């Protein structure tokens, strides 16, 4: 398929509304209560190798709610060969749950066969852009669908980088027809850590390519910010979200919460602030929100990606 065909598919994607990340802690609540959530984002790697309860639950949830598959291991920026074993499983899972779209990150996770399980920053150069576009073509052709790529939170800038990230994402989308997932919190975190203006970043993006937004909480450590996904969203990020909402015309929005995960109702309530904020924004008001305190400083927390058996054992 051509980039323009993928681009057309991206344009035709629906806006399912406000979504939540599906976490194992909430499985029972969702199955028993069927809460009024517009859609769920599932971490592909939590389910693609499961022959047990996680996949069994996902099949039931996918029958009741729209689902989006969000991955953390595609490693589109790596100089290692593409892992087709991984892609086969991803494609198989997509065939099973019929997601609205499949997304991952503009990053690399490892090289020489190793995996750091981090979303490492890509070199923003022409060589890197060509390398990544070629791999996106291969991945999209294998999956038979466009892939949506998220801007990661970054903690460094390479000396050699010559292309601003917003332009890199634009060129990437133009060359391959892929979609974009704008993580507003990541823009905020990266801008503080790497000395750029987050508002300029959001304004420069190709808004028509953005199919989804993420919002999340972070930890401010004084001289840097860590993307911890473990607390409520701060005012500055809500305001950046409002700008992005305005510029994109409104797209599917998801609240990420990956560490210190609250009970379902508290998680859902935080998401619904996005709706309140959209309404208040439309009325010219500002929502004030306090930042929570926590000692967690792990970027891109991933421990929720490991199986937690504490709810699954009977003596």
Partner 1 sequence: MPEENVHSLNQVQNWMQAMLVTAGEHRTPGGTGDRLKPEDVIKASSNLPAYQHLAIYQQSYVARLRECMRNQFSVLAYALGNDLFQLFADDYLEAYPSNSYTLNSLGSQFPHFLEQTRPESDSEQEDWPSFMIELAQFEYDLSVIFDEYADEKESIQSAAISDDMLMSTPVFHLFHHRYPVCQYYLDFTQQRKPELPFPKENYWAVARLNYRLKLFELEPMQYVFLKSLKAGRSIQETKQYFLDNHRIDPSQLENAWGRWRKDFIAKGIFTRV
Treating both helix axes as pointing N-terminal to C-terminal, what angle do 126-143 and 165-176 enclose, rounded to 10 degrees? 40
8: contact with partner 1 by CB under 8 A: no
User: Contact with partner 1 (CB under 8 A): which of 1, 13, 111, 247?
Assistant: 111
256: contact with partner 1 by CB under 8 A: no
User: Contact with partner 1 (CB under 8 A): which of 159, 283, 288, 295?
Assistant: 159
**What is the rounded CA–CA span in Å between residue 90 and residue 74?**
10
User: Contact with partner 1 (CB under 8 A): which of 52, 144, 249, 250?
Assistant: 52
Reading the block at residue 254, the tokens are 């998801």
103: contact with partner 1 by CB under 8 A: no
User: Contact with partner 1 (CB under 8 A): which of 3, 54, 177, 217?
Assistant: 54
Q: At its nearest, how many Å lie between partner 1 and the CB of residue 155?
A: 4
Cβ closest to partner 1, residue 171 vs residue 224: 224
User: Contact with partner 1 (CB under 8 A): which of 25, 91, 131, 170?
Assistant: 131
The residue count for the chain: 315
Q: Which of residues 186-205 bind partner 1 (CB under 8 A)?
A: 193-195
Give the residue carrying structure tokens 């070199």. 123
Question: 237: which residues sit within 8 A by CB, 6+ positions away?
Answer: 184, 185, 188, 215, 216, 218
127: contact with partner 1 by CB under 8 A: yes
User: Contact with partner 1 (CB under 8 A): which of 8, 49, 200, 250?
Assistant: 49
Q: Return phi, psi of residue 19, to 5°.
A: -120, 165
User: Contact with partner 1 (CB under 8 A): which of 8, 28, 33, 79?
Assistant: 79
Q: At its nearest, how many Å lie between partner 1 and the CB of residue 278?
A: 33
CB atoms within 10 A of CB 72: 21
User: Contact with partner 1 (CB under 8 A): which of 136, 202, 226, 240?
Assistant: 226
Cβ closest to partner 1, residue 79 vs residue 279: 79
Question: 54: which residues sit within 8 A by CB, 6+ positions away?
Answer: 24, 46, 47, 307
Q: At its nearest, how many Å lie between partner 1 and the CB of residue 280?
A: 32
Q: At its nearest, how many Å lie between partner 1 and the CB of residue 231?
A: 17
User: Contact with partner 1 (CB under 8 A): which of 28, 98, 285, 308?
Assistant: 308
63: contact with partner 1 by CB under 8 A: no
Reading the block at residue 68, the tokens are 């989006």
Strand pairing class (219-220; 225-226): antiparallel
Using CA atoms, how far residue 231 sits from 46, 205, 255, 264, 304, in Å, is: 22, 27, 10, 14, 15
294: contact with partner 1 by CB under 8 A: no
Kindly compute the dihedral angle of the four CA atoms of residues 132, 153, 213, 268, in this order, to the nearest 10 degrees. Answer: 140
Nearest by Cα to 38 from 68, 1, 3 = 68
Question: By the criterion CB under 8 A, which residues form the site for partner 1?
Answer: 45, 48-54, 56, 73, 75, 78-79, 83, 86, 108-118, 120, 123, 125, 127-128, 131, 155-160, 193-195, 223-224, 226, 297-303, 305-310, 312-315
């Amino acid at each position: 398929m051509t980039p323009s065909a993928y681009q057309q598919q991206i344009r035709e994607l629906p806006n399912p509304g406000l979504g939540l990340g599906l976490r194992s802690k909430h499985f029972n609540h969702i199955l028993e209560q069927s809460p009024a959530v517009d859609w769920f984002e599932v971490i592909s790697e939590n389910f693609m190798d499961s022959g047990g309860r996680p996949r069994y639950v996902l099949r039931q949830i996918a029958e009741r709610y729209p689902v989006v598959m969000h991955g953390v291991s595609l490693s589109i920026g790596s100089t290692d060969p593409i892992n087709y074993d991984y892609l086969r499983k991803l494609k198989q899972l997509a065939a099973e749950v019929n997601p609205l779209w499949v997304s991952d990150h503009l990053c690399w996770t490892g090289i020489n066969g190793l995996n750091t399980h981090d979303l490492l920053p890509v070199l923003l150069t022409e060589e890197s852009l060509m390398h990544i576009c070629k791999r996106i073509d291969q991945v999209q052709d294998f999956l038979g669908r466009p892939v949506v790529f998220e801007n990661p939170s970054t903690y460094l800038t390479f000396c050699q980088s010559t292309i601003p990230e917003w332009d890199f994402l634009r060129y990437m989308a133009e060359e391959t027809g892929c979609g974009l997932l704008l993580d507003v919190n990541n823009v905020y975190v990266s801008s503080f850590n790497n000395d750029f203006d987050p508002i300029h970043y959001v304004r420069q993006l190709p808004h028509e390519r953005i199919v989804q937004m993420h919002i999340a909480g972070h930890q401010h450590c004084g001289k840097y910010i860590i993307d911890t996904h473990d607390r409520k969203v701060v005012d500055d990020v809500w305001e950046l979200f409002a700008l992005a909402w305005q510029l994109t015309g409104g797209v599917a929005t998801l609240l990420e919460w990956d560490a210190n995960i609250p009970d379902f109702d508290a998680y859902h309530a935080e998401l619904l602030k996005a709706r309140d904020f959209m309404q208040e924004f439309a009325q010219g008001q500002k929502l004030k929100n306090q930042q929570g305190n926590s000692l967690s400083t792990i970027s891109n927390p991933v421990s929720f990606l490991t199986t937690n058996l504490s709810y699954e054992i009977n003596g």
